[in-house]
């Protein structure tokens, strides 16, 4: 049986759609309270709406309820997604800042130009935190639109990246800075993570 709130909403929807007047709704609600019958049945019995009109109102009510559930789901998912996004953004920026301070202290052993290559690799790796910053807009947009599907996809990608990023940090902590081309190649992982995030935001 419909709850009191749902009964009132059915009446309100019929009222907004122009099927009944405010006075007719009040009278039907009074009869409904006295007899305990369903509001729609009372409105039909009193000749205020047809079965077709009631069906249209109920269809609209079901659609609104579905939209409400989607919005609530999107709000919850947006909170979880945004928290993880912010954590990853902070961790990646902290890591890159640390390495930007370490690179000048690394010795050149391969004939020069190594520092420039390392600096360039770190600049390119900044694509990862940049994509996370852009993802914040995608989270907000999906939340406003009530799009839990997009938020689930993005959250799933971020969870996988979180695991991969933890593993990457451990690898880089123990990685030799030589040969430089191998060290530089490892940092391309963060660029790939950035691309994964951008794809999930589309």
How much is the pLDDT for 104? Answer: 85
Identify the domain boundary among 66, 87, 114. 66
193, 165 Cβ separation under 8 angstroms: yes
Q: Are residues 62 and 106 in the same domain?
A: no
How far apart, in whole angstroms, are the C-alpha atoms of residue 1 and residue 41? 13
How far apart, in whole angstroms, are the C-alpha atoms of residue 21 and residue 110? 86
Q: Are residues 147 and 186 in the same domain?
A: yes
The total number of structural domains in the chain stands at 2
Q: Are residues 169 and 89 in the same domain?
A: yes
Identify the domain boundary among 66, 83, 98. 66
Report whether the peptide linkage leading into residue 65 is cis, meaning its omega lies within 30 degrees of zero. Answer: no
Q: Which domain holds residue 122?
A: 75-201
Cα 80 to Cα 13, 60, 133, 146, 172, distances in angstroms: 34, 31, 16, 15, 28
159, 81 Cβ separation under 8 angstroms: no
191, 127 Cβ separation under 8 angstroms: yes
How far apart, in whole angstroms, are the C-alpha atoms of residue 74 and residue 148? 4
Q: Are residues 90 and 190 in the same domain?
A: yes
Identify the domain boundary among 14, 38, 66. 66
**37: Cβ–Cβ under 8 A, 6 or more apart, which residues?**
31
How much is the pLDDT for 132? Answer: 97
How much is the pLDDT for 111? Answer: 65
**165: Cβ–Cβ under 8 A, 6 or more apart, which residues?**
88, 91, 92, 193
- Calculate helix-pair angle for 148-174, 180-201, nearest 10 degrees: 170
Q: Are residues 146 and 178 in the same domain?
A: yes
Q: Are residues 51 and 124 in the same domain?
A: no
Q: Are residues 196 and 128 in the same domain?
A: yes
- The pTM (predicted TM-score) of the whole model is 0.69
Look at phi and psi of residue 178 and say left if phi exceeds 0, alpha if psi is from -120 to 50, else beta. beta
Q: Are residues 79 and 175 in the same domain?
A: yes
Q: Are residues 31 and 60 in the same domain?
A: yes
Q: Are residues 30 and 113 in the same domain?
A: no
Q: Are residues 110 and 178 in the same domain?
A: yes
Residue identified by tokens 């929807």 is: 13
The one-digit pLDDT tens for each residue of the chain (202 residues) are 444 444 447 778 788 877 788 888 888 888 787 777 788 787 887 787 888 877 887 787 787 777 778 888 889 999 999 999 999 999 999 999 999 999 888 877 766 788 899 999 999 999 999 999 999 999 999 999 999 999 999 999 999 999 999 999 999 999 888 889 999 999 999 999 999 999 999 8
Q: Are residues 81 and 123 in the same domain?
A: yes
Q: Which candidate, 28, 64, 190, places its Cα nearest to that of 123?
A: 190
């Amino acid at each position: 049986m419909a709850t009191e709130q749902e009964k009132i909403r059915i009446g309100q929807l019929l009222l907004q759609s122009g099927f009944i007047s405010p006075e007719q709704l009040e009278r039907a609600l009074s009869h409904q309270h006295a007899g305990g019958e369903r509001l729609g049945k009372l409105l039909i019995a009193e000749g205020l709406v047809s079965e077709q009109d009631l069906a249209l109102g109920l269809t609209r009510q079901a659609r609104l309820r579905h939209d409400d559930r989607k919005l609530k789901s999107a709000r919850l998912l947006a909170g979880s997604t945004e928290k993880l996004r912010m954590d990853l953004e902070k961790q990646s920026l902290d890591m890159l800042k640390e390495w930007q301070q370490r690179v000048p202290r690394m010795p050149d052993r391969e004939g020069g130009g190594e520092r420039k290559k390392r600096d360039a690799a770190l600049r390119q790796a900044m694509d990862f935190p940049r994509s996370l910053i852009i993802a914040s807009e995608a989270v907000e947009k999906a939340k406003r639109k009530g799009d839990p599907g997009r938020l689930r996809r993005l959250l799933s990608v971020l969870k996988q990246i979180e695991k991969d990023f933890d593993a990457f940090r451990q690898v880089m902590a123990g990685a030799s800075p030589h040969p430089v081309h191998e060290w530089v190649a490892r940092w391309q992982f963060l660029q790939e993570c950035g691309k994964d995030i951008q794809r999930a935001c589309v």
